[in-house]
Structure 1
Amino acid sequence: MVEQTFTFHLGTKIVFGKNAASLAGEELSFRGHKRVLIVTDKGIINAGLLNVILKSLDKHNIDYVIFDEVPPNPPSATVVKGIEVFNSNHCDSFIAVGGGSAMDCCKAISMMIVNTGDINEYDIGGKEFTKKGPDVITIPTTSGTGSEVTQWAVITNEETHWKASIGSPHMAPAVALVDPLLTMGLPPTLTAATGIDALTHAIEAYTTKGALNGTSPITDALSLQAIKLIGENLRQAYSQGENYEARKNTMLGSMIAGMAFPQIGLGNVHALAHPLGGYYDVPHGVANAILLPYVMKFNLVACPERFADIAVAMGENITGLSVMKAAEKAVEAVERLIKDTNIPTLSSFNIKDADLERLAEDALKDGNCSANPRKTTLQNLIDIYKQANNIKLESTSELQTV
């Protein structure tokens, strides 16, 4: 038997724990930086979450400029504007403060400071980055995307509505300051959506084609631990926002999932979620949370043993059950979590029936679809959208036989 070789990239220093954000100035000073661009959004500023960071910068005599114009599902135009702000203010480094949108946008801006062309050219399979941009320090304020430790960014092409997955080892942040205190004021709705987004990362990473081939044992261990942490703590973080231990453990699970999925890929949940964000501006975490149980049901037959493991990690008792029955427990556990955290329905976003085929066509072209454990057709994706959008399927639907 030939021993398999695997690789694992993680070029980011991680500082995790209470008051980690207060080390921003120290980390920049250590690297010789003098003037930093803070990439964030107005909600972060209004919530006062920059205060501890700015105090740290002042303490270490670091000048700063604030770019607070990052929207959800950031478009390429925001990247272009960020480049202009960075260059015109003679900055030498970055701090990204916020959720995945701010961190993704910041990483993309950094890369385009030193690489040529348009950010949209660097989608998977396109142009490759040749240089590493100025240092980025990521400071997440949600427990969901894991972007603080990934070498990927998702940027929307405004003209095509395509959400491009753009990545390179050069894109890995220099430092991630992961401070659970910054999530203490996160509203319940955002806590739920971002938490199940992180759970989706872990579940998909544990069930990709690559994971089934045994190509990433480190990723397997990280994914199961992330599922356990999120499954045990998200309800408390959602319902008891002041519960620091629940916040801390949910954030740890999110970060660990972020360490896992870039190594091995994702699957149909993300492939289907991206067009919903691109065309309908559905928040990414919400889209993932809505779609997750439907995709899990579709994928069960491809890797029931893996879903049985997920059930155990979610705290389910599978003693005496067949493998398929144990696998179904994973879906049931996720459905209960979604119900308990009041995730909205897809139909609440007024998705037009006539758009489902176009959305599915984009999903099929998404690189995550090719990593899904079960081979997927266009009709499969249309049917999953229909199920999630509460549209009755035809009796011949393949999904109904799974």
Structure 2
Amino acid sequence: MNEQSFTFYLGTKIIFGENSAQLAGEELSSRGYKKTMIVTDKGIINAGLLNGILESLTAHNIGYAIFDEVPPNPPSATVVKGVEVFNFNECDSLIAVGGGSAMDCCKAISMMVDNDGDINEYDIGGKEFSRKGPDVFTIPTTSGTGSEVTQWSVITNERTHWKASIGSPYMAPAVALVDPLLTSALPPSLTAATGIDALTHAIEAYTTKGALNGSSPVTDALSLQAIKLIGGNLRQAYSQGENYEARKNTMLGSTIAGMVFPQIGLGNVHALAHPLGGYYDVPHGVANAILLSYVMKFNLVACPERFADIAVAMGENIDGLSIMEAAEKAVEAVERLVKDTKIPNLSTFNIKDEDLERLAEDALKDGNCSANPRATKLQDLVDIYIQANNVGSENTSELQTI
């Protein structure tokens, strides 16, 4: 018997469960911190989601400054401003409260506190971080990006519109406080888009080139479990926001997906989504949700057995079907989920036809494209954009910024 060798890295302590966010003060105090900077946005503050966290910090004599200027698809200028606020207030740690934008921005701020240059220089294949920044504690308020447990941050270069994927083992958060209660007031549209974003992470991680050539029992098990949790609970979380079990399972699926995809890679869905965010400010979760089924159709022939597994994890009956027929069931399951949760169509964002080739050129340069299970040419990416952009715009009523 051949022994299978693999490496699995996770540098983050995860505390999952109801009211876990209120352990923030205890976790910081146990590490000797005195003053932290909270990285968030005004929507989180207005929703009252910081209240319990601030009470916890106060109870443990932890001072704090609040940096609430994080926009969707955060640009490098926001990172620069965050570093200035951190230093001005003489903070010693950071807490990210929010969705992927807040967590990505917070991790980037931490790294630039103790490393020189411009954050854009640290894109994949560029400059490497020489030092770890101040500890980051993540508190996600959406069930989507998995950024609470990853060593990656996506930051937009305002000049080039390029969404840079910046990563380092130094960037892994110290502690993730994953509290499903914080998602209970999330609007249906955000619940849907962030949930399918997480589903995309799991599906791409299970079918990426890395998975085909070097998956492990750990990454495969995590991917399929995340697909099962999200596929089986997102509709209820979307339609019954107060359904704690559905919220909990969807959030658990999101965090598990965040644990696995940095180990094994992603694919064309993310490669195509990043330019849409960089040029048209399409929310990342929405872009992934729009593109997922189109990329799955393109990839079916490369790994139909894996897509058949995904169909089963999504609750499909594949008895008596050929492998390709079973694989197609996975696409159909995703298409129904997108329809049932009223994901807006790409045409909602008024993407110009003349821009599609430029967007595809950026997607082809994205590192995720090279990890896609099926070899991809520029025209393939243009074709996927055309297919997605030529669908009507009936699902627009619930569109909100993520």
> Normalised by the size of structure 1, how large is the TM-score?
0.96
How many angstroms apart in 2 are the aligned matches of 1:222 and 1:294?
24
> Normalised by the size of structure 2, how large is the TM-score?
0.96
Asked if the contact 2:21/2:178 (under 8 Å) is kept, the reply is: yes
* Secondary structure, counterpart of 1:18 in structure 2: coil
Identical pairs, percent = 86
Q: Where does 1:325-340 land on structure 2 (aligned, <5 Å)? A: 325-340=325-340
Tell me, yes or no, if structure 1 residue 90 matches structure 2 residue 90.
yes
Q: CA deviation at 1:213?
A: 1.3
Q: 1:33 maps to what in 2?
A: 33
Q: CA deviation at 1:216?
A: 2.8
Q: 2:219 maps to what in 1?
A: 219
* Secondary structure, counterpart of 2:308 in structure 1: helix
How many angstroms apart in 2 are the aligned matches of 1:46 and 1:381?
40
How many angstroms apart in 2 are the aligned matches of 1:114 and 1:372?
34
Give the counterpart letter for 1:290 in structure 2: I
How many angstroms apart in 2 are the aligned matches of 1:300 and 1:246?
29
Give the counterpart letter for 1:12 in structure 2: T
Q: 1:257 maps to what in 2?
A: 257
Q: 1:179 maps to what in 2?
A: 179
Give the counterpart letter for 2:312 in structure 1: V
Partner deviation per Cα, 1:289-344 (whole Å, 9 max, x = no partner):
00000000000000000000000000000001000000000000000000000000
Q: 1:398 maps to what in 2?
A: none
Greater alpha carbon shift after TM alignment, 213-222 vs 65-74: 213-222
Q: 2:51 maps to what in 1?
A: 51
How many angstroms apart in 2 are the aligned matches of 1:381 and 1:3?
38
Partner deviation per Cα, 1:263-287 (whole Å, 9 max, x = no partner):
0110000000000000000000000
Tell me, yes or no, if structure 1 residue 376 matches structure 2 residue 376.
yes
Q: 1:277 maps to what in 2?
A: 277
* Secondary structure, counterpart of 2:312 in structure 1: helix
Give the counterpart letter for 1:363 in structure 2: A
Asked if the contact 1:142/1:251 (under 8 Å) is kept, the reply is: yes
How many angstroms apart in 2 are the aligned matches of 1:169 and 1:103?
15
Asked if the contact 1:199/1:227 (under 8 Å) is kept, the reply is: yes
Asked if the contact 2:346/2:391 (under 8 Å) is kept, the reply is: no
Q: 1:399 maps to what in 2?
A: none
How many angstroms apart in 2 are the aligned matches of 1:391 and 1:349?
12
* Secondary structure, counterpart of 2:26 in structure 1: helix
Partner deviation per Cα, 1:125-149 (whole Å, 9 max, x = no partner):
1111121110100000000000000
Asked if the contact 1:205/1:261 (under 8 Å) is kept, the reply is: yes
Give the counterpart letter for 2:83 in structure 1: I
Q: CA deviation at 1:4?
A: 4.5
Q: 1:62 maps to what in 2?
A: 62
Q: 1:395 maps to what in 2?
A: none
How many angstroms apart in 2 are the aligned matches of 1:105 and 1:168?
14
How many angstroms apart in 2 are the aligned matches of 1:121 and 1:214?
30
Structure 2 unaligned residues grouped into runs of 5+? 393-402
* Secondary structure, counterpart of 2:192 in structure 1: helix
Q: CA deviation at 1:214?
A: 3.3
Q: Where does 1:62-211 land on structure 2 (aligned, <5 Å)? A: 62-211=62-211
* Secondary structure, counterpart of 1:373 in structure 2: coil
Q: CA deviation at 1:215?
A: 3.3
| Moved >3 Å (runs of 4+) | 1-4
Partner deviation per Cα, 1:203-229 (whole Å, 9 max, x = no partner):
000001110113332111100000000
Tell me, yes or no, if structure 1 residue 300 matches structure 2 residue 279.
no
- For this pair of structures, how many residues does the alignment match? 392
Q: CA deviation at 1:391?
A: 7.2
Give the counterpart letter for 1:6 in structure 2: F
How many angstroms apart in 1 are the aligned matches of 2:2 and 2:121?
38
Q: 2:232 maps to what in 1?
A: 232
* Secondary structure, counterpart of 1:213 in structure 2: helix
Q: 1:396 maps to what in 2?
A: none
Partner deviation per Cα, 1:47-95 (whole Å, 9 max, x = no partner):
0000000000000000000000000000000000000000011000000
Cα pair distance change 1:116/1:300, threshold 3 Å: same
How many angstroms apart in 2 are the aligned matches of 1:354 and 1:391?
17
Q: 2:398 maps to what in 1?
A: none
How many angstroms apart in 1 are the aligned matches of 2:73 and 2:219?
27
Q: 2:397 maps to what in 1?
A: none
Q: Where does 1:282-361 land on structure 2 (aligned, <5 Å)? A: 282-361=282-361
How many angstroms apart in 2 are the aligned matches of 1:59 and 1:50?
14
Q: CA deviation at 1:193?
A: 0.2
Asked if the contact 1:146/1:255 (under 8 Å) is kept, the reply is: yes
Q: CA deviation at 1:176?
A: 0.1
How many angstroms apart in 1 are the aligned matches of 2:71 and 2:111?
19
How many angstroms apart in 1 are the aligned matches of 2:391 and 2:33?
55
Partner deviation per Cα, 1:372-400 (whole Å, 9 max, x = no partner):
000000000000000000179xxxxxxxx
How large is the RMSD of aligned CA atoms in angstroms? 1.1
How many angstroms apart in 2 are the aligned matches of 1:2 and 1:211?
18
Asked if the contact 1:5/1:215 (under 8 Å) is kept, the reply is: no
